[in-house]
Structure 1
Amino acid sequence: MSRRNLLLGGTALIGLAGCGAPSKFRKYKGPRVTRVLVYKSERKLYLMHGDKALRVFDFELGGDPVGPKMMEGDGKTPEGTYRIDRRNPNSSYHLSIGISYPNEMDKARAEAMGVRPGGDIFIHGQPRGIDGRAYIDGDWTAGCIAVPNREMEDIYAMVPDGTPITLFP
């Protein structure tokens, strides 16, 4: 095989490799997200750099979104200040980033009530198995914050572990 044919064949293979499905893992090269602000009653999530909002997202919550999370199984989203403490690239909800609920105060309150505080609170995409462009409308999570998959890809790329997150009523 001539060098020319080898070069053309290799170039074609490289070109075809780029024809696959787009990756859910995006790159972000903008200003660092220094804080996440969540306003439950407004259904707005702000990715902040200092006091400037870099992006704003609409979201859905749990089936009973009014009030703070008090115990496991109450379907509520926590209120207070936490940290983004983990990420799940293989989430059943496209992608997800974890919120450090419960903190020590949440644990003490639950213990005083004789209940468990619950946990596994995430910002995540839509459930696996539905069309990637589909969006479940209305409050449907078990206390998490749900956004469309494409928006979750941006959030996943922009928000590093350790970022403070404050959730307001």
Structure 2
Amino acid sequence: MSFTRMLLVVALAFGLAACGHNKFRTYNGPSVTSIQVHKGARKMYLLHGSDVLEEYDISLGFQPLGHKQFEGDGKTPEGAYFISHHNPKSRYHLSVGVSYPNEKDVAFAQAQGKSPGGDIMIHGRSNYKGTNIGDWTAGCIAVTDSEMEEIYAMVRRNTPIFILP
């Protein structure tokens, strides 16, 4: 193979690789020191101290009023939690885990003879087959896939998240 042909093949390979979308972004800005979710306003804020770094419109659980108490109630939790993990293989593009349930949540549900549920995430929408309008999750916080890529890159494990009514 001639040098020119080899150079052309390598250039073509790099060109094709550049066309693909990589959902894993990098972030080099100020650290996210906390997250605030305002359920009533359907807004989520990534904060560095008291400065808002990013603001997002969100969707919530399909029963958005009140604090999540039991598995299957369709509610998004309220209270102070933290980011527990990153999930690169989420059914909803990418996701980051919220540490619900805490000890208080577990104790309350058990006192009622029920499970508190769990697996609460901030996630994208890619595999959701519904309308993507309004509140549709089982209790999670949903944003667009593009926004989730940004959040995934910016937020670190153990970042506090405050979910307000």
Please report the TM-score for the alignment, with normalisation by the length of structure 2.
0.92
- Percent identical across equivalent pairs? 55
- Contact map agreement 1:110 1:116 (CA 8 A) in 2: yes
Q: Is the 8 A contact 1:33 1:163 kept in 2?
A: yes
The equivalent residue for 2:19 is 19
Instruction: Indicate the SS of the match to 2:138.
Output: coil
- The equivalent residue for 1:117 is 116
Q: Deviation string for 1:46-82 (max 9, x for gaps)?
A: 0000110000001011111111011111110111111
Q: CA deviation at 1:150?
A: 0.8
Deviations 1:60-107 (A, max 9, x none): 111111110111111101111111001211111111111000001111
Partner of 1:103: 102
Q: SS of 2:14's equivalent? A: helix
- The unaligned stretches of length 5 or more in structure 1 are none
Give the Å deviation of 1:7.
3.6
Equivalent position amino acid for 1:67 in 2: G
Alpha-carbon distance between aligned partners in 1 of 2:73 and 2:89, rounded to the nearest angstrom: 25
Deviation at 1:6, TM superposition (A): 3.5
Q: Quick check: 1:135–1:148 contact (8 Å CA) kept in 2?
A: no
Give the counterpart letter for 1:94 in structure 2: H
Contact 2:100 2:120 in 1 (8 A): yes
**Alpha-carbon shift at residue 164 of structure 1 (Å):** 0.6
Aligned residues: CA RMSD: 1.7
- What letter matches 2:146 in structure 1? R
1:1-169 matches, cutoff 5 A: 1-20=1-20, 22-128=21-127, 136-169=132-165
* 1:58–1:150 CA distance, 2 compared to 1 (3 A): same
TM-score w.r.t. length of structure 1: 0.90
Gap regions ≥5 residues in structure 2:
none
> How far did 1:37 drift?
0.5
- For 1:78, give the aligned amino acid: P
Question: Counterpart of 1:25 in 2: which secondary structure?
Answer: coil
**Residue type matched to 2:19 in 1?**
C
Instruction: Name the amino acid aligned to 1:123.
Output: I
